[in-house]
Chains A and B, each alone.
Chain A
Amino acid sequence: MRLDIEPRAEVSKLAQILSPVLAVFVAVGIGGLIVLALGKSPVQALFVYFIDPLSQSWTLQELAIKGTPLVLIASGLVYCFRSNLWNIGAEGQFTVGAIVGCILPLATHGMDAGPWVIVLALIMGAIGGALYALIPAMLKVWFGVSEILTSLMLVYVAQLGLDYLVRGPWRDPKGFNFPQSVVFEPGATLPNLMSDGRLHAGIILALIVVGISWFVLTRTLFGFGIRVSGAAPKAARFAGFNAKRMVVFAFLISGGLAGLAGIVEVTGQIGQLQPSISPGYGFTAITVAFLGRLHPVGLVLGAFIVSLTVIGGESAQIAMKLPLDLTTVFQGVLLMCVLAADCFSTYRVRIVSGGAR
């Protein structure tokens, strides 16, 4: 007797929608068992993790702030992943976007230059990220170099570049040699939306991007090309889509949105350049994209869940003295469950009786 895994002939729409929901429930169940093993109440943990953050205006705003860069980056990654391109370097494109975007805010510091600075900064940030993503794209198109490797390695180049700038030419002259830029002028930061919290205009940009992205991917020929070149590369070629051009466009969009996320984060949330500007958004966004099943709107839900675990994780450290590692473990369990649910909804396990092969 043995187990066999074979593709299902037909995957129902319902199963596709329900499988990630089921996965979340299973993951919560496993998380509850771990909490129980730590000798704490799983019910209280569930409340602190998932209900508490949703019950106050402040935490809701924090969820949106945390989710903004994730949604922007994941929106771009969907274009790559859908066309079977593995852009692992969004973190680097995020960083370069922040660097290029900050050129104007820093150059006009102390000049009272007005709100056009922030507008141009956002555009430059997006262009910076897009051009940086062009490097792995061109290496793949011209020389067939694996984009996984090049995009990942370029993350470190970008981070060291930022490090050099804030310790060298962009260092705040009044900062006692500490590595950080000056604090941006109000005209060079994204406006705040609420009086009682930190919610900034970045969330509006993110939602606009989600809307446009949904339209492009589901309603345009280009979006169709992206989807086909991932699902059936040969068919895409027969249909006349230029594979190389698809690679370049997917990376440009992906890098541009990651770069936009970078400059949004720096001008909306942090307010200055520092050696480190991201707790790993570029990598977390990969999880977010897959949690959202690579759907341009679904990823908003993915970003929501991931942000919730981060903020809930902090509450759990404070309210229940649960270790930070639990949050990290839980995020891993969640992703495994989603991938497993995905697997079981497209494949089925069959018990085959009889001798071994």
Chain B
Amino acid sequence: MLALKLAYKNILGAGLRTLLNVSVLSLAFVLIVFYNAMIDGWNRQGKIDTQEWEIGEGQFWHPDYNKFDIYSYREANQEIDANVQQLIDQNEVLPVLIQQATIYPQGRMQSIVLRGIPADQQLLKLPTKGLNMQEGICPAIIGKRMAKSTKLKTNDKVLLRWRDINGTYDAIELRIDTIFKCDVADVDNGQIYIDYHVMQKLMGMKNCATLLVSSNSELKDLDGWNYRSTDVLLKDLNDLTNSEKISGMVIQSILLMIALLAIFDTQVLSIFRRKREIGTYIALGLTRKQVVGIFTVEGGFHSILAAIVGAIYGIPLFIWINQTGLSIGEADMGITVAEVIYPFYSLQLILISIVLVVLSSTIVSYIPAHKIVKMKPTDALKGK
């Protein structure tokens, strides 16, 4: 208690030095919390968006389907049996047929992935209502990235060419019904969506599907299909955000080290200038360890003050950013990232950040204070 009181008085007495140390440390503290909250917010939004637009509560893949190998798409489809059909009728799973095809926008040849999805589905956020065949023209929906790369607009017509189940070329004209805005790049880049039943007819793949999107997290086993949980399907996103966290840690560490260096210097200077005070403490009966404790607490107290100061200006700032979000523009990086990111502050994140700052500042305070143990009280009283 004595150590805390003395530390408090000495810190306030140090004036500008304390202000400087506390300012830098509080900035490091706020930035650590903010950066990690941004990454967590991105990850959280990314997971929600991916589930809502693409993977639902998991997927069942045809055993030969490999998302990253477009040449596997051709053979990766199978007929839906009565059991799966029942699940489809109960809206437990959503069938999707995937094939490779080619479009010719403005006389350019472009390979695309053609996805057949039921027009009346409600499991995914894709605006599939417009996919019903109208007046002999096949409507299609595409994402804004795809629209940009192909220079297609709503109601534009584009020729689609594909190979049917026997390998025979076929071609029809598609009409772009809707251009949707989606933050999940995989749902958008190079993808064209048409009605599931129309696609079956075009491909000659009657009642076939490449994968099934599940709406039931309890459903994990279907005969003839390989289950892919949300954890497996979101692994890339998690890996990406984790790697961003690691690269962010480098910047945070530099900032924290600057703040800790300032505390270290302050401690070294304090011990040098306050030798008589140290000698007086020992003369009054305090053990050397108690004196080391007073100086360590004094140094560590900077971090407590930094947390309070950081909270004073950080909390209103965080609340404001949480309401407005942080816009990162429409830059398409080919990854799942929202245009506006809302940081996510978890209790765990705040506690870890506080412990990290307090612990590290206490350690750097202890290192110079430890020299006091070797001091002779008589020399200390003389200021030597």
The yes or no verdict on A and B being binding partners is no
